[in-house]
Structure 1
Amino acid sequence: MADHGIKGKTVLIAGGAKNLGGLIARDLAAQGAKAIAIHYNSDATAPEAEKTLADLKAAGVNAMAVQADLTAEGAMARLFADVVARIGRPDIAINTVGKVLKKPIMETTEAEYDAMFAINTRVAYFFIKEAGRHLNDNGKLVTIVTSLLGAYTPFYSTYAGSKAAVEHFTRAASKEYGARGISVNAIGPGPMDTPFFYGQEDPCAVAYHKSAAALSPFSTTGLTDIADIAPYVRFIVSEGWWMTGQTILVNGGYTTK
Protein backbone atom coordinates (compact mmCIF):
# COMPACT_ATOMS: atom_id res chain seq x y z
CA MET A 1 0.00 0.00 0.00
CA ALA A 2 1.28 3.47 -0.88
CA ASP A 3 2.74 5.69 1.83
CA HIS A 4 0.65 8.86 1.93
CA GLY A 5 2.51 10.52 4.79
CA ILE A 6 4.71 13.60 4.47
CA LYS A 7 7.70 12.28 6.41
CA GLY A 8 10.64 11.57 4.13
CA LYS A 9 9.02 13.14 1.07
CA THR A 10 10.46 15.62 -1.44
CA VAL A 11 8.47 18.80 -2.11
CA LEU A 12 8.49 21.57 -4.73
CA ILE A 13 6.60 24.80 -4.00
CA ALA A 14 6.28 27.43 -6.73
CA GLY A 15 5.99 30.79 -5.02
CA GLY A 16 7.32 29.17 -1.86
CA ALA A 17 9.42 32.00 -0.47
CA LYS A 18 6.86 34.08 1.42
CA ASN A 19 3.26 34.50 2.55
CA LEU A 20 1.21 31.32 2.04
CA GLY A 21 3.95 29.52 0.09
CA GLY A 22 6.52 30.18 2.80
CA LEU A 23 4.14 28.97 5.51
CA ILE A 24 3.38 25.79 3.59
CA ALA A 25 7.10 25.13 3.20
CA ARG A 26 7.71 25.53 6.93
CA ASP A 27 4.64 23.46 7.79
CA LEU A 28 5.69 20.53 5.59
CA ALA A 29 9.19 20.75 7.04
CA ALA A 30 7.66 20.42 10.50
CA GLN A 31 5.75 17.35 9.27
CA GLY A 32 9.01 15.63 8.36
CA ALA A 33 9.52 16.39 4.67
CA LYS A 34 13.03 15.28 3.66
CA ALA A 35 13.74 17.83 0.94
CA ILE A 36 11.97 21.05 -0.11
CA ALA A 37 12.59 23.29 -3.12
CA ILE A 38 11.14 26.79 -3.01
CA HIS A 39 10.76 28.91 -6.13
CA TYR A 40 10.53 32.69 -6.19
CA ASN A 41 10.19 35.19 -9.02
CA SER A 42 12.01 38.47 -8.42
CA ASP A 43 15.09 39.97 -6.80
CA ALA A 44 12.77 41.80 -4.40
CA THR A 45 11.73 38.48 -2.90
CA ALA A 46 15.27 37.16 -2.53
CA PRO A 47 15.70 38.22 1.15
CA GLU A 48 12.48 36.41 2.13
CA ALA A 49 13.53 33.39 0.09
CA GLU A 50 16.84 33.29 1.96
CA LYS A 51 15.03 33.53 5.31
CA THR A 52 12.67 30.69 4.40
CA LEU A 53 15.59 28.64 3.11
CA ALA A 54 17.49 29.16 6.36
CA ASP A 55 14.43 28.12 8.40
CA LEU A 56 14.04 24.94 6.36
CA LYS A 57 17.69 24.02 6.75
CA ALA A 58 17.48 24.70 10.49
CA ALA A 59 14.63 22.20 10.60
CA GLY A 60 16.93 19.57 9.11
CA VAL A 61 15.54 19.72 5.58
CA ASN A 62 17.63 19.39 2.44
CA ALA A 63 16.42 22.70 1.02
CA MET A 64 17.07 24.73 -2.11
CA ALA A 65 15.78 27.98 -3.58
CA VAL A 66 15.40 28.77 -7.28
CA GLN A 67 14.69 32.15 -8.83
CA ALA A 68 12.85 32.07 -12.14
CA ASP A 69 10.26 33.93 -14.19
CA LEU A 70 7.99 30.98 -14.86
CA THR A 71 6.17 32.81 -17.67
CA ALA A 72 9.32 32.59 -19.81
CA GLU A 73 9.44 29.88 -22.47
CA GLY A 74 10.99 26.69 -21.12
CA ALA A 75 11.32 28.07 -17.58
CA MET A 76 9.01 25.50 -16.00
CA ALA A 77 10.84 22.56 -17.55
CA ARG A 78 14.14 24.01 -16.35
CA LEU A 79 12.75 24.48 -12.83
CA PHE A 80 11.68 20.85 -12.52
CA ALA A 81 14.90 19.58 -14.09
CA ASP A 82 16.95 21.63 -11.63
CA VAL A 83 14.96 20.33 -8.67
CA VAL A 84 15.26 16.71 -9.81
CA ALA A 85 19.01 17.09 -10.35
CA ARG A 86 19.64 18.67 -6.95
CA ILE A 87 17.21 17.04 -4.50
CA GLY A 88 15.46 14.29 -6.47
CA ARG A 89 12.06 13.69 -8.05
CA PRO A 90 9.31 15.39 -6.04
CA ASP A 91 6.54 13.51 -4.29
CA ILE A 92 4.53 16.70 -3.70
CA ALA A 93 4.20 19.70 -6.03
CA ILE A 94 2.35 22.85 -4.95
CA ASN A 95 1.80 25.96 -7.06
CA THR A 96 0.96 29.13 -5.13
CA VAL A 97 1.92 31.57 -7.92
CA GLY A 98 -0.68 34.20 -8.71
CA LYS A 99 -1.37 37.80 -9.66
CA VAL A 100 -4.50 39.82 -8.89
CA LEU A 101 -6.00 42.72 -10.83
CA LYS A 102 -9.15 44.57 -9.83
CA LYS A 103 -10.28 46.65 -12.77
CA PRO A 104 -13.39 47.17 -14.91
CA ILE A 105 -13.40 45.23 -18.18
CA MET A 106 -13.59 48.40 -20.27
CA GLU A 107 -10.47 49.79 -18.58
CA THR A 108 -8.36 46.63 -18.85
CA THR A 109 -5.52 46.83 -21.36
CA GLU A 110 -4.29 44.04 -23.60
CA ALA A 111 -0.98 44.06 -21.72
CA GLU A 112 -2.76 43.61 -18.39
CA TYR A 113 -4.88 40.79 -19.80
CA ASP A 114 -1.82 39.05 -21.22
CA ALA A 115 0.09 39.37 -17.92
CA MET A 116 -2.80 37.97 -15.88
CA PHE A 117 -3.26 34.93 -18.10
CA ALA A 118 0.48 34.35 -18.38
CA ILE A 119 0.88 34.19 -14.59
CA ASN A 120 -2.39 32.64 -13.45
CA THR A 121 -3.18 30.33 -16.37
CA ARG A 122 -0.06 29.57 -18.39
CA VAL A 123 2.15 29.03 -15.33
CA ALA A 124 -0.51 26.81 -13.74
CA TYR A 125 -0.88 24.71 -16.89
CA PHE A 126 2.80 24.07 -17.40
CA PHE A 127 3.35 23.45 -13.68
CA ILE A 128 0.72 20.72 -13.90
CA LYS A 129 2.34 19.39 -17.10
CA GLU A 130 5.85 19.20 -15.66
CA ALA A 131 4.55 17.80 -12.38
CA GLY A 132 2.96 15.00 -14.40
CA ARG A 133 6.31 14.28 -16.00
CA HIS A 134 8.41 14.42 -12.87
CA LEU A 135 6.29 13.49 -9.82
CA ASN A 136 6.88 10.10 -8.32
CA ASP A 137 4.00 7.63 -8.51
CA ASN A 138 1.41 8.23 -5.77
CA GLY A 139 2.41 11.90 -5.78
CA LYS A 140 0.28 14.90 -4.84
CA LEU A 141 -0.33 18.02 -6.92
CA VAL A 142 -2.07 21.16 -5.60
CA THR A 143 -2.72 24.55 -7.18
CA ILE A 144 -3.87 27.62 -5.25
CA VAL A 145 -6.73 29.39 -7.04
CA THR A 146 -9.35 31.77 -5.56
CA SER A 147 -12.75 31.70 -3.89
CA LEU A 148 -13.88 34.26 -6.46
CA LEU A 149 -14.59 31.20 -8.62
CA GLY A 150 -17.76 30.99 -6.56
CA ALA A 151 -18.58 34.71 -6.67
CA TYR A 152 -20.92 36.90 -8.72
CA THR A 153 -18.98 40.12 -8.78
CA PRO A 154 -17.61 42.84 -11.07
CA PHE A 155 -14.02 44.06 -11.53
CA TYR A 156 -12.17 40.73 -11.11
CA SER A 157 -12.76 39.41 -14.63
CA THR A 158 -9.12 38.73 -15.49
CA TYR A 159 -8.25 37.39 -12.03
CA ALA A 160 -11.17 35.00 -11.57
CA GLY A 161 -11.25 34.27 -15.30
CA SER A 162 -7.60 33.29 -15.47
CA LYS A 163 -7.93 31.11 -12.38
CA ALA A 164 -11.15 29.48 -13.61
CA ALA A 165 -9.25 27.60 -16.29
CA VAL A 166 -7.26 25.85 -13.57
CA GLU A 167 -10.42 24.03 -12.45
CA HIS A 168 -10.55 22.34 -15.84
CA PHE A 169 -6.81 21.69 -15.87
CA THR A 170 -7.20 20.06 -12.45
CA ARG A 171 -10.00 17.77 -13.53
CA ALA A 172 -8.23 16.72 -16.72
CA ALA A 173 -4.93 16.07 -14.97
CA SER A 174 -6.60 14.06 -12.22
CA LYS A 175 -7.98 11.71 -14.88
CA GLU A 176 -4.74 11.55 -16.85
CA TYR A 177 -2.46 11.05 -13.83
CA GLY A 178 -4.78 8.87 -11.75
CA ALA A 179 -3.41 5.64 -13.21
CA ARG A 180 -0.13 6.45 -11.43
CA GLY A 181 -1.84 7.15 -8.11
CA ILE A 182 -1.30 10.91 -8.37
CA SER A 183 -4.01 13.12 -6.85
CA VAL A 184 -4.61 16.57 -8.35
CA ASN A 185 -6.61 19.27 -6.58
CA ALA A 186 -7.04 23.03 -6.27
CA ILE A 187 -7.71 25.15 -3.19
CA GLY A 188 -9.50 28.51 -3.43
CA PRO A 189 -8.81 30.71 -0.40
CA GLY A 190 -10.96 33.69 0.45
CA PRO A 191 -9.42 37.18 0.52
CA MET A 192 -6.23 36.66 2.51
CA ASP A 193 -4.59 39.00 4.98
CA THR A 194 -1.44 39.49 2.88
CA PRO A 195 0.04 42.33 0.78
CA PHE A 196 -1.30 40.43 -2.26
CA PHE A 197 -4.81 41.50 -1.16
CA TYR A 198 -4.33 45.02 0.12
CA GLY A 199 -2.51 46.28 -2.96
CA GLN A 200 -5.70 46.07 -5.04
CA GLU A 201 -8.39 47.21 -2.59
CA ASP A 202 -9.56 50.62 -1.38
CA PRO A 203 -10.62 51.09 2.29
CA CYS A 204 -14.32 50.57 1.55
CA ALA A 205 -13.66 47.30 -0.27
CA VAL A 206 -11.34 46.13 2.53
CA ALA A 207 -14.10 46.81 5.07
CA TYR A 208 -16.59 44.84 2.98
CA HIS A 209 -14.31 41.83 2.53
CA LYS A 210 -13.53 41.80 6.25
CA SER A 211 -17.24 41.38 7.01
CA ALA A 212 -18.39 39.22 4.10
CA ALA A 213 -17.55 35.72 5.34
CA ALA A 214 -19.99 33.89 7.60
CA LEU A 215 -17.17 33.28 10.08
CA SER A 216 -15.64 36.77 9.81
CA PRO A 217 -16.63 37.72 13.39
CA PHE A 218 -14.47 34.86 14.65
CA SER A 219 -11.37 35.83 12.65
CA THR A 220 -8.74 38.23 13.99
CA THR A 221 -8.84 40.30 10.79
CA GLY A 222 -12.15 39.15 9.29
CA LEU A 223 -10.14 37.81 6.34
CA THR A 224 -8.74 34.39 5.54
CA ASP A 225 -5.43 33.91 7.32
CA ILE A 226 -2.67 31.95 5.61
CA ALA A 227 -2.67 29.75 8.71
CA ASP A 228 -6.26 28.79 7.83
CA ILE A 229 -5.15 27.40 4.45
CA ALA A 230 -1.94 25.53 5.31
CA PRO A 231 -3.74 22.69 7.19
CA TYR A 232 -5.90 21.98 4.13
CA VAL A 233 -2.82 21.77 1.91
CA ARG A 234 -1.19 19.48 4.47
CA PHE A 235 -4.24 17.21 4.49
CA ILE A 236 -4.60 17.03 0.71
CA VAL A 237 -0.94 16.09 0.24
CA SER A 238 -1.14 13.36 2.87
CA GLU A 239 -4.18 11.55 4.32
CA GLY A 240 -6.50 13.38 1.93
CA TRP A 241 -5.03 11.63 -1.12
CA TRP A 242 -8.32 9.91 -1.98
CA MET A 243 -9.83 13.25 -3.01
CA THR A 244 -8.83 14.20 -6.55
CA GLY A 245 -10.04 16.40 -9.40
CA GLN A 246 -11.62 18.86 -6.95
CA THR A 247 -11.56 22.61 -6.36
CA ILE A 248 -12.14 23.29 -2.67
CA LEU A 249 -13.12 26.80 -1.52
CA VAL A 250 -11.65 27.46 1.94
CA ASN A 251 -12.96 30.85 2.96
CA GLY A 252 -15.03 30.88 6.15
CA GLY A 253 -18.24 31.12 4.15
CA TYR A 254 -17.20 34.00 1.89
CA THR A 255 -18.52 32.33 -1.26
CA THR A 256 -19.80 28.91 -2.21
CA LYS A 257 -20.70 27.06 -5.40
Structure 2
Amino acid sequence: MFMNTASRIAIVAGGSRGIGRAVASRLAAAGQDVAVVYASNAKEADAAVGEIEAAGSRGIALQADVADEVAVAVAFDTVEERLGPVDVVVNAAGVMALQPTRELDLAQLDRQLRINVRGTFVVARQAARRIRPGGAIVAFSTSVTRLHHPAFGAYAASKGAVEALVPILAKELGGRDVTVNAVAPGPTATELFFDGKSQQDIDRIAGLSPMKRLGTPQDIAEVVAFLAGPGRWVNGQIVFANGGAA
Protein backbone atom coordinates (compact mmCIF):
# COMPACT_ATOMS: atom_id res chain seq x y z
CA MET A 1 0.00 0.00 0.00
CA PHE A 2 1.41 3.41 -0.97
CA MET A 3 2.51 5.47 2.00
CA ASN A 4 1.41 9.11 2.10
CA THR A 5 4.58 10.89 3.18
CA ALA A 6 3.00 14.33 3.49
CA SER A 7 3.40 15.96 6.91
CA ARG A 8 6.34 13.72 7.82
CA ILE A 9 9.41 15.30 9.41
CA ALA A 10 12.85 14.47 8.03
CA ILE A 11 16.40 15.23 9.10
CA VAL A 12 19.05 15.15 6.38
CA ALA A 13 22.60 15.33 7.73
CA GLY A 14 24.98 16.54 5.06
CA GLY A 15 22.01 18.14 3.36
CA SER A 16 23.60 21.40 2.24
CA ARG A 17 25.41 20.07 -0.84
CA GLY A 18 25.73 17.19 -3.25
CA ILE A 19 23.66 14.06 -2.76
CA GLY A 20 22.36 15.21 0.60
CA ARG A 21 20.95 18.40 -0.87
CA ALA A 22 19.25 16.47 -3.67
CA VAL A 23 17.76 14.17 -1.04
CA ALA A 24 16.46 17.12 1.00
CA SER A 25 14.79 18.61 -2.08
CA ARG A 26 13.31 15.27 -3.13
CA LEU A 27 11.82 14.61 0.31
CA ALA A 28 10.38 18.12 0.31
CA ALA A 29 8.80 17.45 -3.09
CA ALA A 30 7.14 14.40 -1.50
CA GLY A 31 5.59 16.67 1.12
CA GLN A 32 8.02 16.15 3.96
CA ASP A 33 9.29 18.99 6.12
CA VAL A 34 13.10 18.84 6.18
CA ALA A 35 15.81 19.91 8.59
CA VAL A 36 19.16 20.34 6.85
CA VAL A 37 22.09 19.59 9.16
CA TYR A 38 25.34 21.02 7.84
CA ALA A 39 28.95 21.11 9.00
CA SER A 40 30.16 24.60 8.11
CA ASN A 41 28.69 26.14 4.93
CA ALA A 42 25.75 28.19 6.18
CA LYS A 43 25.24 29.86 2.79
CA GLU A 44 24.72 26.53 1.01
CA ALA A 45 22.50 25.28 3.84
CA ASP A 46 20.30 28.36 3.56
CA ALA A 47 20.06 27.81 -0.20
CA ALA A 48 19.00 24.21 0.42
CA VAL A 49 16.28 25.45 2.78
CA GLY A 50 15.14 27.83 0.04
CA GLU A 51 14.68 24.86 -2.29
CA ILE A 52 12.71 22.99 0.38
CA GLU A 53 10.41 25.96 0.92
CA ALA A 54 9.99 26.44 -2.83
CA ALA A 55 8.62 22.88 -2.92
CA GLY A 56 5.95 23.93 -0.41
CA SER A 57 7.45 22.30 2.68
CA ARG A 58 8.93 23.72 5.86
CA GLY A 59 12.70 23.77 6.08
CA ILE A 60 15.30 24.73 8.66
CA ALA A 61 19.10 24.68 8.69
CA LEU A 62 21.06 23.52 11.74
CA GLN A 63 24.82 23.47 12.16
CA ALA A 64 26.28 20.37 13.79
CA ASP A 65 29.32 18.16 13.54
CA VAL A 66 27.79 14.71 13.04
CA ALA A 67 30.55 13.14 15.16
CA ASP A 68 29.76 15.41 18.14
CA GLU A 69 27.13 13.66 20.23
CA VAL A 70 26.12 16.84 22.07
CA ALA A 71 25.68 18.88 18.90
CA VAL A 72 23.66 16.12 17.24
CA ALA A 73 21.40 15.74 20.28
CA VAL A 74 20.78 19.50 20.27
CA ALA A 75 19.96 19.35 16.55
CA PHE A 76 17.36 16.64 17.16
CA ASP A 77 15.94 18.65 20.06
CA THR A 78 15.62 21.70 17.84
CA VAL A 79 13.90 19.76 15.06
CA GLU A 80 11.35 18.37 17.51
CA GLU A 81 10.72 21.84 18.94
CA ARG A 82 10.42 23.67 15.62
CA LEU A 83 9.02 21.07 13.23
CA GLY A 84 7.74 18.14 15.29
CA PRO A 85 8.55 14.48 16.04
CA VAL A 86 11.00 12.91 13.60
CA ASP A 87 9.91 10.31 11.02
CA VAL A 88 12.90 10.09 8.68
CA VAL A 89 16.64 10.38 9.35
CA VAL A 90 19.06 10.40 6.42
CA ASN A 91 22.78 10.67 7.09
CA ALA A 92 24.55 11.72 3.90
CA ALA A 93 27.42 13.46 5.71
CA GLY A 94 30.82 12.07 4.81
CA VAL A 95 34.37 12.78 3.76
CA MET A 96 36.65 11.01 1.32
CA ALA A 97 40.42 11.15 0.87
CA LEU A 98 42.07 8.93 -1.74
CA GLN A 99 45.55 7.54 -1.10
CA PRO A 100 47.26 4.20 -1.69
CA THR A 101 47.72 2.35 1.58
CA ARG A 102 51.50 2.65 1.53
CA GLU A 103 51.19 6.46 1.30
CA LEU A 104 48.24 6.78 3.65
CA ASP A 105 48.15 9.92 5.77
CA LEU A 106 46.97 8.60 9.12
CA ALA A 107 45.49 11.96 10.01
CA GLN A 108 43.25 11.62 6.94
CA LEU A 109 42.37 8.09 8.01
CA ASP A 110 41.38 9.35 11.44
CA ARG A 111 39.24 12.10 9.90
CA GLN A 112 37.37 9.63 7.70
CA LEU A 113 36.80 7.25 10.59
CA ARG A 114 35.56 10.11 12.77
CA ILE A 115 33.03 11.49 10.29
CA ASN A 116 32.05 8.38 8.36
CA VAL A 117 32.01 5.84 11.20
CA ARG A 118 31.60 7.73 14.48
CA GLY A 119 29.26 10.22 12.77
CA THR A 120 27.08 7.38 11.50
CA PHE A 121 26.82 5.89 14.99
CA VAL A 122 26.14 9.24 16.66
CA VAL A 123 23.30 10.06 14.26
CA ALA A 124 21.94 6.50 14.34
CA ARG A 125 21.90 6.51 18.14
CA GLN A 126 19.70 9.60 18.27
CA ALA A 127 17.50 8.31 15.45
CA ALA A 128 17.01 4.98 17.22
CA ARG A 129 15.92 6.78 20.40
CA ARG A 130 13.55 9.28 18.83
CA ILE A 131 12.12 8.18 15.50
CA ARG A 132 8.37 7.55 15.38
CA PRO A 133 6.75 4.25 14.38
CA GLY A 134 6.47 4.07 10.62
CA GLY A 135 9.78 5.90 10.28
CA ALA A 136 12.90 5.23 8.26
CA ILE A 137 16.62 5.55 8.86
CA VAL A 138 18.83 5.76 5.77
CA ALA A 139 22.61 5.69 6.03
CA PHE A 140 25.17 5.96 3.24
CA SER A 141 27.77 3.45 2.13
CA THR A 142 29.54 3.29 -1.25
CA SER A 143 29.77 0.90 -4.18
CA VAL A 144 33.55 1.00 -3.74
CA THR A 145 33.11 -1.62 -1.02
CA ARG A 146 32.43 -3.98 -3.96
CA LEU A 147 34.31 -2.28 -6.81
CA HIS A 148 37.64 -2.31 -4.93
CA HIS A 149 39.26 0.66 -6.68
CA PRO A 150 42.90 1.31 -5.72
CA ALA A 151 43.46 4.26 -3.36
CA PHE A 152 39.94 3.96 -1.91
CA GLY A 153 41.00 1.65 0.94
CA ALA A 154 40.46 4.00 3.89
CA TYR A 155 37.20 5.37 2.53
CA ALA A 156 35.83 1.92 1.68
CA ALA A 157 36.85 0.62 5.10
CA SER A 158 34.95 3.43 6.80
CA LYS A 159 31.85 2.61 4.77
CA GLY A 160 32.24 -1.08 5.49
CA ALA A 161 31.51 -0.18 9.09
CA VAL A 162 28.26 1.44 7.98
CA GLU A 163 27.28 -1.74 6.16
CA ALA A 164 27.96 -3.76 9.29
CA LEU A 165 25.77 -1.53 11.43
CA VAL A 166 22.68 -1.33 9.22
CA PRO A 167 21.28 -4.89 9.49
CA ILE A 168 22.10 -5.02 13.20
CA LEU A 169 20.29 -1.75 13.91
CA ALA A 170 17.32 -2.96 11.86
CA LYS A 171 17.03 -5.99 14.16
CA GLU A 172 17.56 -3.90 17.29
CA LEU A 173 14.54 -1.80 16.27
CA GLY A 174 12.40 -4.87 15.63
CA GLY A 175 8.77 -4.40 16.59
CA ARG A 176 8.85 -0.62 16.24
CA ASP A 177 7.88 -0.47 12.54
CA VAL A 178 11.09 1.42 11.70
CA THR A 179 13.18 0.49 8.68
CA VAL A 180 16.97 0.85 8.54
CA ASN A 181 18.83 0.73 5.23
CA ALA A 182 21.88 2.14 3.52
CA VAL A 183 22.30 3.41 -0.01
CA ALA A 184 25.61 2.63 -1.70
CA PRO A 185 26.06 5.03 -4.62
CA GLY A 186 28.44 4.39 -7.45
CA PRO A 187 30.42 7.24 -9.02
CA THR A 188 28.19 10.30 -8.75
CA ALA A 189 28.73 13.77 -10.17
CA THR A 190 29.33 15.72 -6.97
CA GLU A 191 32.03 18.07 -5.74
CA LEU A 192 33.26 15.28 -3.46
CA PHE A 193 33.70 12.93 -6.43
CA PHE A 194 35.42 15.41 -8.75
CA ASP A 195 37.91 16.60 -6.14
CA GLY A 196 41.46 15.57 -7.06
CA LYS A 197 40.53 13.64 -10.21
CA SER A 198 41.76 14.32 -13.73
CA GLN A 199 39.35 14.35 -16.66
CA GLN A 200 40.93 11.08 -17.79
CA ASP A 201 40.12 9.54 -14.41
CA ILE A 202 36.56 10.85 -14.55
CA ASP A 203 35.96 9.48 -18.04
CA ARG A 204 37.40 6.10 -17.13
CA ILE A 205 35.25 5.78 -14.03
CA ALA A 206 32.12 6.92 -15.86
CA GLY A 207 32.75 4.14 -18.39
CA LEU A 208 32.51 1.43 -15.71
CA SER A 209 28.71 1.56 -15.79
CA PRO A 210 26.72 0.02 -18.66
CA MET A 211 24.91 3.37 -18.69
CA LYS A 212 28.24 4.99 -19.67
CA ARG A 213 27.78 7.99 -17.45
CA LEU A 214 28.18 9.14 -13.90
CA GLY A 215 25.21 9.02 -11.62
CA THR A 216 23.55 12.26 -10.59
CA PRO A 217 22.58 13.32 -7.09
CA GLN A 218 18.97 13.12 -8.25
CA ASP A 219 19.44 9.46 -9.22
CA ILE A 220 20.48 8.67 -5.68
CA ALA A 221 17.79 10.87 -4.13
CA GLU A 222 15.09 8.81 -5.83
CA VAL A 223 16.38 5.68 -4.13
CA VAL A 224 16.48 7.41 -0.75
CA ALA A 225 12.94 8.76 -1.24
CA PHE A 226 11.71 5.22 -1.88
CA LEU A 227 13.38 3.88 1.26
CA ALA A 228 12.16 6.88 3.28
CA GLY A 229 8.59 6.49 2.06
CA PRO A 230 6.82 3.59 0.32
CA GLY A 231 9.66 1.06 0.59
CA ARG A 232 8.43 -0.42 3.87
CA TRP A 233 9.34 -4.02 3.06
CA VAL A 234 12.98 -3.19 2.38
CA ASN A 235 14.77 -3.37 5.71
CA GLY A 236 18.31 -4.07 6.89
CA GLN A 237 19.64 -3.82 3.35
CA ILE A 238 22.49 -2.16 1.46
CA VAL A 239 20.97 -0.86 -1.77
CA PHE A 240 23.54 -0.42 -4.53
CA ALA A 241 22.65 2.51 -6.78
CA ASN A 242 25.42 2.57 -9.38
CA GLY A 243 23.91 2.13 -12.84
CA GLY A 244 25.14 -1.46 -13.01
CA ALA A 245 28.82 -0.79 -12.38
CA ALA A 246 30.56 -3.95 -11.19
Q: TM-score, normalised by structure 1?
A: 0.91
2:6 maps to what in 1?
Answer: 7
One-letter code aligned to 2:58: N
1:219 maps to what in 2?
Answer: none
One-letter code aligned to 1:163: K
1:251 maps to what in 2?
Answer: 242
Partners of 2:29 and 2:56 within 8 A in 1: no
Tell me the CA shift for residue 151 of structure 1.
1.5
Q: Distance in 1 between matches of 2:44 and 2:30?
A: 21
Q: Distance in 2 between matches of 1:200 and 1:127?
A: 29
Listed one character per residue, the Cα deviations across residues 13-56 of structure 1 (whole Å, up to 9, x for unaligned) are 001112211111111111111x21001111xx222211121222
Are 1:29 and 2:28 matched, yes or no?
Answer: yes
2:39 maps to what in 1?
Answer: 41
| Distance change in 2, residues 1:73/1:229 (3 Å) | closer
| 1:82 equivalent among 75, 78, 83 | 78
2:217 maps to what in 1?
Answer: 226
Indicate the SS of the match to 1:252. coil
Q: Distance in 1 between matches of 2:207 and 2:197?
A: 14
Give the total of aligned pairs: 246
One-letter code aligned to 2:21: G
One-letter code aligned to 1:253: G
Indicate the SS of the match to 1:241. coil
Q: Distance in 2 between matches of 1:249 and 1:4?
A: 23
Deviates more, 1:47-56 or 1:86-95: 47-56
Tell me the CA shift for residue 88 of structure 1.
1.5
Q: Distance in 2 between matches of 1:22 and 1:152?
A: 27
Q: Distance in 2 between matches of 1:200 and 1:4?
A: 41
Tell me the CA shift for residue 192 of structure 1.
0.7
Aligned sequence identity (%): 32
Tell me the CA shift for residue 6 of structure 1.
1.2
Note the aligned Cα RMSD (angstroms): 1.5
Q: Distance in 1 between matches of 2:24 and 2:66?
A: 19
Q: TM-score, normalised by structure 2?
A: 0.95
Tell me the CA shift for residue 73 of structure 1.
4.5
Deviates more, 1:200-209 or 1:15-24: 200-209
One-letter code aligned to 1:192: T
Are 1:166 and 2:162 matched, yes or no?
Answer: yes
Partners of 1:137 and 1:182 within 8 A in 2: yes
Q: Distance in 2 between matches of 1:179 and 1:200?
A: 45
Q: Distance in 2 between matches of 1:36 and 1:182?
A: 18
Q: Distance in 2 between matches of 1:6 and 1:199?
A: 35
Task: List alignment gaps of at least 5 residues for structure 2.
Answer: none
Partners of 1:101 and 1:200 within 8 A in 2: no
Are 1:128 and 2:124 matched, yes or no?
Answer: yes
| Distance change in 2, residues 1:38/1:210 (3 Å) | same
Q: Distance in 2 between matches of 1:72 and 1:56?
A: 26
Listed one character per residue, the Cα deviations across residues 75-131 of structure 1 (whole Å, up to 9, x for unaligned) are 222221221222122101101011111101121122111101001111011111110
